[in-house]
Structure 1
Amino acid sequence: MNWFSLLFQKGETVKKMREESGARINISEGNCPERIVTITGPTDAIFKAFAMIAYKFEEDITNSMSNSTATSKPPVTLRLVVPASQCGSLIGKGGSKIKEIRESTGAQVQVAGDMLPNSTERAVTISGTPDAIIQCVKQICVVMLESPPKGATIPYRPKPASTPVIFAGGQAYTIQGQYAIPHPDLTKLHQLAMQQTPFTPLGQTTPAFPGLDASPPASTHELTIPNDLIGCIIGRQGTKINEIRQMSGAQIKIANATEGSSERQITITGTPANISLAQYLINASSADPDPHGRNTFTA
């Protein structure tokens, strides 16, 4: 195992953990509520670093309870970042694998149904005692080693807040005030989408973002999705489809179900870049192992 990532609250000192575990521990930059901690090194060093983090969390929880009236100590909780293409193997057919991991380790494990913003990764939340978490992480590593990620992975990078996204000249930009700031992650995702999801425009309208001359005219594209997969695309209370709209910059309309039809029509409007990215994200969502669009997998 060469690397593993988890979501980690900022401000944690890791110098001692690096020295004692022998693993390389890097913390992502940025003024965000969450920071990505990437652990690299031999398998044993990675597990030792995980153990030190888990025990440090338990120590912090114990110290915080000394000034609290609470009678029960909450469990230690870590959030792992896992490529979405590997989550099916982690869950197993009918949830069999994740149930086995829960029962054998005593840890609670939940796999998010939606991908993390602007990425092709999903969060796996683990709760329990430090020992249970360590054993759980080991089993998850085994599953990931046996089932490598498929296709390109766009890593999750926490952002302070959501910002509008536009595409021009093959690049993605986020709008901050009066300026368009290049966004490398979304540019990579856009390039991947343009390679894998070609389309034929059905109509032409005015430019979607007239302030950028490099943006081609807006077009309309239609596709059909089986009814039993539409929940994956919409998500709980529309969260997933809204995320796709925001990430792609496209307008997306899902037709109402028609009696006797096993499919639903989706209409996508935007620039070719918007449409290709929206198609890519829709296809990725429809491949979710949970066909009902639930947000988490629980026992």
Structure 2
Amino acid sequence: RAVITEEFKVPDKMVGFIIGRGGEQISRIQIESGCKIQIAPDSGGMPERPCVLTGTPESIEQAKRLLGQIVDRCRNGPGFHNDVDGNSTIQEILIPASKVGLVIGKGGETIKQLQERTGVKMIMIQDGPLPTGADKPLRITGDAFKVQQAREMVLEIIREKDQADFRGVRSDFSARMGGGSIEVSVPRFAVGIVIGRNGEMIKKIQNDAGVRIQFKPDDGISSERVAQVMGLPDRCQHAAHIISELILTAQERDGFGSMAVARGRGRGRGDWSVGTPGGMQEITYTVPADKCGLVIGKG
């Protein structure tokens, strides 16, 4: 099958929804369609942002269909409303449950300062059917440019907190283990495979190699996520080798053979045994919900 490349445009303000939290949504689309999707870093001020789709004609059409479904859901949902009074725009962004208090601030001080600095109105939607501890929508209303500016400031607050937490965890673990750390680049489509269902795969890698692995904060744009591997140098290299094997297996399966894999030196291609009886190899794959019956079969 010939592999082709095609450009497909999506509304700029919906890119965050298309990528999804931690890149989960776009990874799912790539796995289900078999098409590689690269979203441009910005729209250049235009209302639409280009995406580059790479794959067979069939996989590209499937990816376009799935992307179109997400765009339609966003348009019909509460997240985006334009020209409320001819001049204003309303945009909602989903704030992780663990960061809601951070964005609001003590006594509402942070959200108040954000509103004063940007000239917009912000409301954290706390009521509704969402359970306690769930992510909350933050509604931002105002001039389109100011709304975008306020959105970036909120995301920057969250990023700074994530990076501070990450540095603290890394320093603490490295100090206890007496080691350093290396970085491993993981293509977005393979992040779910490396983490595994309920985090099972990444736990196995950590236990097998004797390291700590943590993904750096997601910028929501890059085609790769960076995993920080912390521990003794030889153990870090062993973990990087395992991750590279999982990525290569996923690339061969999904037809992404030309994509870059891990940074750092491995010890050559080989099977990774996770301690199953008889030295058998065990690899966890993420199967789309609508394909489970096909994989299991009748009975």
Normalised to the residue count of structure 2, the TM-score between the two structures is 0.31
Whichever structure has more helix as a proportion of its residues is 2
Whichever structure has more strand as a proportion of its residues is 1
Normalised to the residue count of structure 1, the TM-score between the two structures is 0.31
